[in-house]
A and B are shown apart, each in its own frame.
Chain A
Amino acid sequence: MNRKVSLIKNLDWMTIMLYAILVFLGWINIYAAVYNEDHQSIFDATQRYGKQLMWIGAAIFIAIIILTIESKFYSAFAYPTLILMILLLLAVLTFGVKVNGARSWFELGAIRFQPAEFAKFATNLAIARYLSQHNFKIHRLKSLAVTGLILFTPAVLILMQNDTGSALVYSVFILVLYREGLSGFVLFLALLAAIFFVFTLIYSSFTVSILILIIAAISLKTIGIQTKQIAIATAMLAGSFGTLWLINKGTNFQLGNFSLVVISILLNTIPFLIYTYRQKIKKAALVLLLVIGSLFYTFSVSYIFDTVLESHQQQRINELLGIKSDPYGTGYNVNQSKIAIGSGGFNGKGFLNGTQTKFNFVPEQSTDFIFCTVGEEWGFLGSALVLLLHLSLILRLIYLSERQRSSFSRIYGYGVAAILFFHVAVNVGMTIGLAPVIGIPLPFFSYGGSSLWSFTILLFIFLRLDANRLELLR
Chain B
Amino acid sequence: MNNYSNRKFIVGGIFAFVILIFIIRLFNLQIIDDQYKLSAESNSQRRVTQYAARGLIYDRNGELLVYNQAAYDLMIIPRQVKTFDTLDFCYLLGIDKEDLIHRIQKAKKHSWYRSSIFIKQLSSERYAVLQEKLYKFPGFFVQTRTLRKYPHHNAAHTLGYLGEVNDRNIKKDDYYTQGDYIGKNGIENTYEEILRGVKGLKVYWVDVYNRIKGSFHDGKLDRDAIEGQDIKTTLDINLQEYGEKLMQNKKGGIVAIEPKTGEILVKLSSPGYDPEMFVGRAMSKNYRELANNDTLKPLFDRSMMATYPPGSIFKLVNALIALQEGIITPYTRIKCQNGYHAGSFTMGCHPHKSPVDLKESVQISCNAYYAQTFRDILDAPRFNSINESYTNWRRHVTSFGFGEKLGTDLPNELTGFIPTANYYNKVIRTRNWKSLNVVSLAIGQGELSITPLQMANMVACVANRGYYYTPHIVKSIGSNNSIDPKFLKKNKTTIDPSYFEPVIEGMDLVVHGGEGSTGRSSAIKDIRVCGKTGTVQNPHGDDHSVYVAFAPKDDPKIAIVVYVENGVWGARYAAPISGLMIEKYLKGEISENKKYLEKKMLEADLIKEQEIKKVQLKKESSHE
Give A contacts to B, CB under 8 Å.
Answer: 36-38, 175, 178-181, 184, 327-328, 338-339, 341-346, 349, 353, 355-356, 358-361, 375, 379-380, 383-384, 387-388, 390-391, 394-395, 398, 401-402, 407, 414, 417-418, 421, 424-425, 428-429, 432-434
Contacts and interface: CB of A to CB of B under 8 A. Distances in A.
A229 to B, nearest CB: 35
B8 A402 contact: yes
Given A38-B112, A180-B4, A390-B19, 8 more contacts: A38-B108, A328-B223, A339-B38, A360-B114, A387-B22, A387-B23, A391-B19, A418-B11
Interface SS of B by simple majority: helix
Given A391-B16, A402-B5, A414 B25 contact: no
B31 interface: yes
B29 A432 contact: yes
Q: Give the top 5 A-B pairs by smallest Cβ distance, nearest first.
A: A342-B36, A380-B30, A343-B38, A391-B19, A342-B29
B22 A375 contact: no
A383 B19 contact: no
A432 B16 CA distance: 17
A36 B11 CA distance: 43
Nearest to B77: A359
Contacts of A434: 21-22, 25
Interface SS of A by simple majority: helix
A175 to B, nearest CB: 6
Contacts of A395: 12, 15-16
Contacts of A181: 2-4
A437 to B, nearest CB: 16
Given A328-B221, A343-B40, A398-B11, A36 B30 contact: no
A379 B23 CA distance: 12
A342 B37 contact: yes
Given A181-B3, A355-B113, A345 B31 contact: yes
Contacts of B30: 341-342, 344-346, 375, 379-380, 383
7 contacts: A37-B112, A327-B220, A341-B36, A342-B30, A343-B40, A379-B30, A434-B25
Interface string B34-47: 01111010001101
A424 B19 CA distance: 9
Interface of B: 2-5, 7-8, 10-12, 14-16, 18-19, 21-23, 25-27, 29-31, 33, 35-38, 40, 44-45, 47, 78, 108-109, 111-114, 217, 220-221, 223
A384 B21 contact: no
A355 B8 contact: no
Given A179-B7, A181-B3, A380-B30, A342 B22 contact: no
A383 B26 contact: yes
A343 B2 contact: no
A327 B219 CA distance: 11
Contacts of B111: 36
B47 A432 contact: no
B45 A432 contact: no
Nearest to A175: B11
Contacts of A359: 45, 47, 113-114
A178 B13 CA distance: 13
Contacts of A424: 19
A61 B303 CA distance: 65
B40 A179 contact: no
A180 B5 CA distance: 9
Contact of B44 (A355, A387, A402, A418): A355
Contacts of A387: 19, 22-23, 26
A380 B37 contact: no
Contacts of A180: 2, 4
A341 B113 contact: no
